[in-house]
Amino acid sequence: MNDMSTEGYTTADGRKIGGVLMEMKNITLRFGGVVAIKDISFDIREGEIRAIIGPNGAGKSSMLNVISGFYVPQEGEVWFRGYRRGPMRPYQVARLGIARTFQNIALFEGMSVLDNIMTGRLNHMKSGMLAQALWWGKAEREESENREQVEKIIDFLEIQNIRKTPVGRLPYGLKKRVELARALAAEPKLLLLDEPMAGMNVEEKEDMSRFILDVNDEFGTTIALIEHDMGVVMDLSDRVVVMDYGKKIGDGTPDEVRRNQDVIDAYLGVAHD
Amino acid sequence: MFYREAGDFKTSYRDDSQTFPISFDRWRYYAVLIVAFGVIPFLINDYWANALLVPFLIYAIAAIGLNILTGYCGQVSLGTGGFMAVGAYACYKLMTAFPDVSILIHVLLAGGVTALVGVLFGLPSLRIKGFYLAVATLAAQFFLVWLFNKVPWFYNYSASGQISAPERTFLGHAVTGPATTASAKYLFCLAILVVLAWLARNLTRGTIGRKWMAIRDMDIAAEIIGVNPLTAKLSAFAVSSFFVGVSGALFFAVYLGAVEVGEAFGIQKSFLVLFMIIIGGLGSIFGSFAGAAFLVLLPVVLKVIGVDLLGWPTDIVAHIQLVIIGALIVMFLILEPHGLAQLWRVAKEKLRLWPFPY
């Protein structure tokens, strides 16, 4: 990866990857005496699918939580779209254009699928409380316009038939898809997926992989994902960060990572003699 | 057979998101409005107005208010009585200070004052949740009642410590004071309720309603999609308190005429309104109506059956009423946490497929 210029690069399958969208510089995150992330730096480029992998407890989810604003690192800098990001609340991060899904689904169970996805568009809806109370003018127009966007995503993810079903009644695989839809509805610059395929069977994984590739392809969304299924990660991602015990032990294309001795040791274990 | 969506194709998102998507529902709703505005005012007498209709209308406003806060935004409040008292006392102070201003404006301003007080007591909700918040609002309840008892300025230094509503007219008819007719009281409250219910419905189906529900269902996920918990929770407290304040003002000025704060707006009132939304249905405007109707109607029905038909002593019937309400609360919490509104929804879903459910 050393030949990669600041202007971006071209992937093996011919997609153009742009400049740096997000850069993490020397991030260190501690919980009391426990060091969850230790001096990690990496970048995410525009249009890229970037994977973060590592054994259990490596600090992957903590990293995602740093990006989405749940945790504020003690040391290091987070740069997004050319600006340094100060400590922010998660809702402020969301307004910058970063959306995410959760490892254990975090949908609004009491609301319909449609309403859940509509919540993803909250940051695109600006009408005041009075206009909404009277359901008049801007509020009504905005509702229809945003509904149109949401319907596009519903079509895209093929969930038309469950539009009005309360989320609480849906099976697991569909909930995962609805959560992806909600994140997509925000039209994010950067989409974070925390184990999008956890607990799925092969068929559902194939579907989800297809959706992730399509999202990247059609909307040009930059995606950072955590995943345990190595086959999926190696097939989907353009570049991979490997973490172990809070440290970065590898970074590069899937092929490079696969050949990296540190990575092999971390996953297969190494004999101590 | 006429309760169908089939053949009723929606061609715009506006049509698809309307309140009553099935045309039968829509017509029934118009029919109810016509009867309520056009027929009942001519039939109503003092007994019907004071025992049933006016309290139902006023409690429905309070129940919608509490439902916005508890049912939609998930913030439990036991301060409803206190906030109703704020509305009542604000209305009283405004009525006596500005006698020439329309009573409608006073009632709405009283709601506004209550909204401000509600936001103030809503501030702890940013830090605490669930039971702890309920206790904080309970403190609001006792503090407010104590305040209105203790500070004579609030009751204009009257000897009895009570407040009583002076006579005010609206569109040429007395709506407060002893000269008020049953139909004037009824129509005044009904008009306010219809407008407020419509506003509540719009708020809860739009962006702000989704923010509230997002906070209710999972506050962490709500924050990650860009909901500011501060503004979402406080706006729920403000809107809810506005409704509760208006209902308090009407309860005092139109319904009772004279109140003593501890008696009219005590902790029992907070629980009564909470029971209304639990039985009626949390997170449903229709549920607020159903719950208010149920709990207003229940004592009257029991009295008619127990005292008038069976000839039991009044105190036994009153006790039976408490037992029944308690049992119902437990039953609804266990069997159907979404209340009468959910039963109604299930019935409608079944009806849509009837008589060929498969």
The overall longest dimension of chain A from CA atoms, in Å, is 75
The neighbouring-strand residues paired with A27 are A40
Indicate if the pLDDT at residue B141 is higher than 90. Answer: yes
Per-residue pLDDT tens over the stretch A153-191: 999 888 888 888 889 889 888 899 999 999 999 999 999
Q: Give the pLDDT of residue A5.
A: 46
Cβ pair B221:A95 closer than 8 A: no
Q: What is the DSSP letter of B165?
A: P
Domain range annotation of chain A:
1-86+222-273
Nearest to B236 by CA among B200, B280, B287, B269: B200
Give the whole-angstrom CA distance, residue B87 versus residue B244: 7
CA atoms within 13 A on the CB side of B180: 29
Cβ pair A133:B227 closer than 8 A: no
Q: What is the DSSP letter of B304?
A: I
- Tell me, yes or no, whether B256 lies in a domain: yes
Per-residue pLDDT tens over the stretch B61-75: 999 999 999 999 999
- Tell me, yes or no, whether B320 lies in a domain: no
B336 pLDDT band (50/70/90 cuts)? confident
Q: Give the pLDDT of residue B2.
A: 60
What percentage of chain B carries pLDDT values higher than 90? 40
Q: Give the pLDDT of residue A240.
A: 92
Q: Which residues of A201-226 are buried (b: 16+ CB within 10 A; e: fewer)?
A: eeebbebbbebbeebbeeeebbbbbb
Which residues of B are less than 8 Å from A95 in CB distance? Answer: 226
B193-201 long-range contacts (CB < 8 A, ≥24 apart) are: B193/B57, B193/B58, B193/B60, B193/B61, B194/B33, B194/B36, B196/B61, B196/B64, B196/B243, B196/B246, B197/B60, B197/B64, B197/B285, B197/B289, B199/A133, B199/A134, B200/B64, B200/B68, B200/B239, B200/B243, B200/B285, B201/B19, B201/B285
Q: Give the pLDDT of residue B6.
A: 64
Determine phi and psi for A189, rounding to 5 degrees. -75, -35
Element (H, E) at A118: helix A113-119
**Three-class secondary structure of residue B179 per DSSP:** coil
Nearest to B51 by CA among B274, B303, B312: B303
Q: Is the peptide bond before A87 cis (omega within 30 degrees of 0)?
A: no
Cβ pair B14:A140 closer than 8 A: yes
- Tell me, yes or no, whether B301 lies in a domain: no
Query: Which range is least confidently modeled, A218-222, A261-265, B68-72, B81-85?
Result: A261-265
Give the whole-angstrom CA distance, residue B198 versus residue B29: 12
B191 pLDDT band (50/70/90 cuts)? very high
Q: Region B263-278: what's the mean pLDDT?
A: 91
Indicate if the pLDDT at residue A129 is higher than 50. Answer: yes
Give the number of domains in chain B.
1
Which residues of A are less than 8 Å from B352 in CB distance? Answer: none
| Contacts with B215 (C-beta within 8 Å, 6 or more apart), sequence order | B73, B74, B222, B227, B229, B232, B233, B236
* Radius of gyration, CA atoms only, chain A: 20
Which residues of B are less than 8 Å from A122 in CB distance? Answer: 207, 210-211, 225-227
Which residues of B are less than 8 Å from A107 in CB distance? Answer: 217-218, 221
B93-99 long-range contacts (CB < 8 A, ≥24 apart) are: B93/B154, B93/B156, B95/B165, B95/B166, B95/B168, B95/B176, B95/B253, B96/B156, B96/B166, B99/B166, B99/B168
User: Is A112 within 8 Å of chain B by CB?
Assistant: no
**Three-class secondary structure of residue A230 per DSSP:** helix
Indicate if the pLDDT at residue B14 is higher than 50. Answer: yes
Class of domain A1-86+222-273: alpha beta
Q: What is the DSSP letter of A121?
A: T
A1 pLDDT band (50/70/90 cuts)? very low
Q: What is the DSSP letter of B167?
A: P
The residue segments making up the domain with residue B209 are 19-266
- The chain-wide mean pLDDT, for chain B, equals 87
Cβ pair A68:B225 closer than 8 A: no
- Tell me, yes or no, whether B290 lies in a domain: no
Neighbours of A235 (CB within 10 A): 11
Cβ pair B17:A90 closer than 8 A: no
Give the whole-angstrom CA distance, residue B47 versus residue B303: 14
Locate B221 and state its tokens: 């996920």
End-to-end CA distance of chain A: 34
Per-residue pLDDT tens over the stretch B149-181: 888 898 888 888 888 888 888 887 788 877 788
Q: Give the pLDDT of residue B1.
A: 47
Residue of B nearest to A103 (CA): B221
Higher-pLDDT residue of B83 and B320 is: B83
Residue of A nearest to B238 (CA): A129
Q: Region B299-319: what's the mean pLDDT?
A: 85
Query: Which range is least confidently modeled, A58-67, A124-133, B244-253, B273-282?
Result: A124-133
Most confident listed range (A80-94, B36-50, B106-120) = B106-120
Q: Region B259-267: what's the mean pLDDT?
A: 88
Q: What is the DSSP letter of B2?
A: -
Per-residue pLDDT tens over the stretch B232-255: 999 999 999 999 999 999 999 989
CATH of the domain at B122: 1.10.3470
User: Which among A71, A119, A169 is the top mutation candidate for probing chain B, defined by the most B β-carbons within 10 Å of its own β-carbon?
Assistant: A119
Q: Give the pLDDT of residue A7.
A: 65
Task: Judge contact between B90 and B246, C-beta under 8 A.
Answer: no
Determine phi and psi for B102, rounding to 5 degrees. -60, 140
Q: What is the ipTM of this complex?
A: 0.85
| Contacts with B123 (C-beta within 8 Å, 6 or more apart), sequence order | B234
B5 pLDDT band (50/70/90 cuts)? low
| Contacts with A15 (C-beta within 8 Å, 6 or more apart), sequence order | A47, A238
Cβ pair B226:A122 closer than 8 A: yes
- Tell me, yes or no, whether B358 lies in a domain: no
Partner residue opposite B217 with nearest CB, options A91, A111, A148 = A111
Locate A58 and state its tokens: 């490596």
Judged by phi (left if over 0) then psi (alpha if -120 to 50, else beta), residue B249 lies in: alpha
| Residue B290 distance to chain A (closest CA, Å) | 20
- Tell me, yes or no, whether B343 lies in a domain: no
B7 pLDDT band (50/70/90 cuts)? low
Indicate if the pLDDT at residue A2 is higher than 50. Answer: no
Q: Give the pLDDT of residue B28.
A: 85
Q: Region B276-287: what's the mean pLDDT?
A: 90
Partner residue opposite A91 with nearest CB, options B218, B223, B283 = B223
